[in-house]
Every structure is written in C-alpha cells, then in structure tokens.
Structure 1
C-alpha cells in the first residue's frame, strides 16, 4: 500500500487535537507543560509506543520520549523532535479559543507546534493500523522549553539525535508549504542597568534612572540591525512605584544571523556596549545560543528530494529554504545529522492572538510524514 493513500478523517483529527490545544502550556509554567506531556504520553502509549517520562530541570517541565515497536528496536532510525511549550500564557484560551471556521481552526499553539506534533503521531498510528512497517525504527521526543532557546533539553535532543540516522522536525510549514533545510544562528542576551534611586517628586535630580538608561540602550541595540544580523529587545522589567526613580532595570535581547561569522560579530558588538554612563552601569551577559545550521548539507538535501517527490504525488511543489526563527533543528543540523524541518501544518499568525491552521493541511502533512517514514532507509 502506498502511504500517500492512507485515509485521514479530518473532523476526527480535530476532535482529538482539541484537548492538546485546550491544555495551555506556556514555557515558564512547568506544571502546565507537564499536564500537556501527560496527554501526549497517554496518546503515544495508546498508539503502541514504549514511553519514557524524563523529569524536567532548571525550573522547566519534563520531556516525553516514545519508541515504537520495530524488528530493529534500539538501532539507529528516525527521530521526530518537537516541543510542547508555547508562548501563550494561561488564560489565552479566553481570547483565542479553539474554534473552527471552514478550513481555518484557531487556538494557542495550534500552529507552533502542537498541530505538527499531532499529525506526526497520526501518521505513525495510520501506518500501524494499515499493517505497514517502516524500514527504520521511530522515536518521538517532545520537549518543554524550545520557545526560550531550549536551555534545559539541548543535550537531551542532541543525545537522542546522535542515536539516529535522520531527524524530522514538524515545526510549522513555511508560508508556501515549503520545508526548511537550514536555519540562522540565534543568540540571547540578558541586559541590566544599575542606577541610583531617589524620590521622583521631591528629589528627581538626585536619582539616576535605570529605566531611562535602558530605553536609550534599546534604541542603540536595535539600530545595529542589518540585513546580515538583526537585534531586538523583547522583554523588559523595571520599577514598582511611579514616585521612585528606578535603580534597576532588566531586559532580554535577541540577535539572529545568517552565518556564524555574522553572529560572532553581532555578539562582539553587543558585549562592547557594556560600561558606565552618567552614573548608570550597563551590563550584558550571554544567554543560550542556537548554532547556525548550514543549508544544503548532502544528507538533508537527499531527504528534501525524497519529500519533494512525495509532495509531487500529493499534488503540490515542495520548496526549500534556510530560515530565521530558530528551532531544535538548529542543533541536529549543526551536528551534521540529516534533518528536515517545517514539516508541520500550514497556517499563519503563530505567536499571536490570531494563531491558526489550515484544516486541510492536517491530512496533507500526515501523509507527507507517513511517506517519509516509509521511504527513509
């Protein structure tokens, strides 16, 4: 049987995807992420996998590893790597409920990347129900901290990837449905300003505002953006009383670069901003980094060529590109393990209150993943 001929009931898929979406799992809420992992572990077990729960660390939730029965169980095979954390805080469902409108379905994390994780499991289940045995054993790894740079599970992902021949990453499809065959480097930074407190009404001139100094630094940092290396500040915390000149301010910055050389220059530029000005100290410390996954690696391109053939049978042309917006594919691709990314569902609005998927892409992507599982050797 051709895996592309497998039948998928879209309405049934949505009904079973719904609990995944309605279990909100923001990265920084370890208990919430663990609740999502409970659901995934149950569904993977029902699908026949041997499931391991891996405890979380560094304040993050735990991970789930599922290995499916196979004559070559334990031998190098295919790793499907995905994350179950989202950027949406608890309560987002009130503003972005799970809702279907024609071929569109909304919900927090539905595109990034619970939809892709779900269709990966659906593909494996459908193959099993059809009595089809993949040439290679299959392992699924769901992790809890990708949205903050994977600080607690990078070594786990790399260890699992090293045991396998191929890595599939069901991150959201590119806007045209294409796959990702390389990713830019990303580095994070923690920023801090230290000033001098004073009463904002009675003694304003005696203070040195850490907030004002940080605001100036943010403009300076973001002005360093070029086509080759971007800089942005996305988090800032400071102040408690409006009548106090704030003596401390914390922020987080991110830089993305197309090459390692560009990243190194960007990191050096950020670190060079440190110093003292007008009585306020500015400090920069390195956070987690995703390495450059160089595109066009032979093993990855061979996987892409196979996926392109499958998509032609499905009726569309699969494109490829190197992309910004890091994923855990950065790590496996950097390791030189053949990796194909953005195999997940089509949609738009990820990381926003309009996050949505194209319902019709559930079956499409499940068939694509099933085809890859059956044809990778």
Structure 2
C-alpha cells in the first residue's frame, strides 16, 4: 500500500486540531504546558502509541515521548522532534481566536508549531489504521522550551537523536514549500546595568541612571550587525517609580551567526562591551546558544532527496535552503545526524496576533510525513 492511498479527512483533522490550539501553552507557564501535554497525549494514545511524560525542570513544563509499536522497537529509527510551547501568553485566544476564514485556520501557536506536530501525528495515525509497518520505528519527542532556546531539554533531544537514524523537525514550512537543511547559530546574551539610585526630583545629580546607560548601549550593540552576524535587543526591563533614578536595568540580545567563526567573533564582541563608566556598571553574560548546523552536508542532502521524491509524488516541488531562525534541528544537525527541518504546515504570521495556517496544507503535509515515514529506511 502506498502512502498516497491513505485516507486523510480534512474536516476531521480540523476538528481534532482545535483543542491543541485552544489549550494555550506559553513557555513560562508550566501548568499550561502540562495541560497541552494531556491533550496531545490522549491523541497519541488513541493513535496506538505508548507514552512517557517526562517531568519538567528549571521551572518549565513536562516533555512527552511517544513511541509507536514496531518489530524493531528500540533500534535506531526516525525521531520526530517538536515543541509544544508558544510565544503567546494565556489569553491570546481573545485576540487571535480559533477560527476558519477564507481557507485559513487561525490561533496562537497553530503555525509554530502545533500544526506541524499534529500533521506528523496524523500521518502515523493513518499508517497505524492501515496496518502498515514502517521500515523504521518512529518516535516523537515533544518539548516545552524551544521558544527560549531549549535550556531545559537540549540534553534530552540530543540523546534521543543519537539513538535514532534520522530526525524530522515539523517546524513551519516556507511559503514556497521549502524545507530547511542547515541553520545558522543563534546566541542569546543577558545585559545588566547597575547604577546609583537617588530621588529624581530633589537629588537628581546624585543618581547614576542604569536606564540611561542601557539606552546608550543598545544602538551600539545593534550597530554591530552585518550580513553574517546580526544583533537585536528584544527585551528590556527597568524601573518601578518615575521619581527614582533607576539603579538596575536588564535586557536580552539575540544574535544570528552564519558560521562558527562568525559566532566566535560575535560572542567576543558582545563580551568585550562590558565596562564601568560614570559609576554605572555594564555587564554582559552569554546565555543559551544553538550551534551552527552547516548547510549542505551530504547526509542531510541524501535525506532531502528521498523527501523531495515523496513531495513530487504528492504533487509539489520540495526545495531546501538554510535558515537564520533557530530550531531544535540546530542540535541534531550539528551532531551529524541526518535531519530535515521545516516539514510542517504552511502559513504566515508566526509569533504575531495574525498567526494562521493554510487549510489546504493539513492533508498535504500529513501525506508528506506519511511518505517520509514509509520511505526513510
């Protein structure tokens, strides 16, 4: 039986995807992540899989390991690596509610990346229903912290990947159907300024503003951006009272680097910014870093060729390109494990209040994953 003969029901898929989206799961809400794990775990069990809920750590939510029955269970197979956390706080549904309009499905996290996880699971559900035994055992690992750089589950992902032959990452597909083979490094940095407090009215001259120092540093940091290494300040926190000269300010920087050499230069440039001036200390510390997954590696291109043939049989042309956005594919690709990334649903607006997917991509991408699961060997 060919994967093309599997019966995917678009209306049923939409109905069953809805609870995944309406169970909001921002990274920093461990209880919310536990709720979405419950929702997903039920669907995995109903598809015939065995489950293991892995407790969270670092104050974050749990992970879910899903294994489908197979005669060679325990031998290297296919790992589907996905995340269940989103950037959207609980309550975002009031601004971007689940809805179906003009061939699009809306909701927080539907593109990044609950929709992709769902279609990969739907592929295995239909394979199981058809009584097909895939050439290799299939395991899903769904984690709670990708949106903050995977500080709690990197070891878990890497160890699971090392026990498998291939990795599929159903992050959002690109608009032209492209997948990702290779990702640039993503480094995070934490900034802190420590000033001298005073009353902002009657003793302004006695204070040294931590906010003012940070404000001067931000343009300096972003001005270091080049085509090969970028710097962006995306978070800043400071001050409690307008009548107080601020004594502390905190910010976060995201840096993209195309090569290991670019990454090393960028890290050095950031760490060299630390100084004390006018009694205000500026401190830079390195945070989580996703390594470079070098584009064009032979093992990844060989896996892509099989996937491209699957796509052609479905009716679309699969292309590939490297990406400046990080994913957990950075880890598995950097380990040298054949990895194909961004195999998930097509849509737009990820990380915004307009996040949506194209309805037509549900069946298309479910077939695509079914084909990969049945053709990778």
Query: TM-score of the superposition, structure 1-length normalised?
Result: 0.99
SS in 1 for 2:253: strand
Taking only aligned residues, the RMSD between alpha carbons, in angstroms, comes to 0.7
Q: Moved runs in structure 1, 4+ residues, more than 2 A?
A: none
1:232, distance to aligned residue in structure 2 (A): 0.4
**Match in the other structure for 2:29:** 29
| CA deviations over 1:18-62 (Å, ceiling 9, x no partner) | 000000000000110111111111111111111001000001001
Gaps of 5+ in 2: none
8 Å contact kept, 1:185–1:263: yes
Partners of 2:215 and 2:22 in 1: CA distance:
37
**Match in the other structure for 1:177:** 177
Deviates more, 1:339-348 or 1:309-318: 309-318
Partners of 1:109 and 1:4 in 2: CA distance:
28
What is the correspondence of 1:180-195 to structure 2 with a 5 Å cutoff? Answer: 180-195=180-195
1:175, distance to aligned residue in structure 2 (A): 2.0
Partners of 2:72 and 2:5 in 1: CA distance:
26
**Match in the other structure for 1:10:** 10
1:7, distance to aligned residue in structure 2 (A): 2.1
Partners of 2:330 and 2:39 in 1: CA distance:
27
8 Å contact kept, 1:184–1:323: yes
User: Is it true that 1:85 corresponds to 2:85 in the alignment?
Assistant: yes
What is the correspondence of 1:359-374 to structure 2 with a 5 Å cutoff? Answer: 359-374=359-374
Query: TM-score of the superposition, structure 2-length normalised?
Result: 0.99
User: Is it true that 1:124 corresponds to 2:121 in the alignment?
Assistant: no
1:102, distance to aligned residue in structure 2 (A): 2.4
Partners of 1:42 and 1:324 in 2: CA distance:
34
Partners of 1:219 and 1:157 in 2: CA distance:
36
| CA deviations over 1:204-255 (Å, ceiling 9, x no partner) | 1211110111011111111110000000011111100011110000111111
SS in 1 for 2:182: strand
SS in 2 for 1:234: strand
| CA deviations over 1:250-294 (Å, ceiling 9, x no partner) | 111111011010011000000000001122100001101000001
Partners of 1:355 and 1:66 in 2: CA distance:
27
Aligned residue pairs total 377
What is the correspondence of 1:108-123 to structure 2 with a 5 Å cutoff? Answer: 108-123=108-123
8 Å contact kept, 1:4–1:368: no
| CA deviations over 1:83-117 (Å, ceiling 9, x no partner) | 00000001100000001102111100000000000
Gaps of 5+ in 1: none
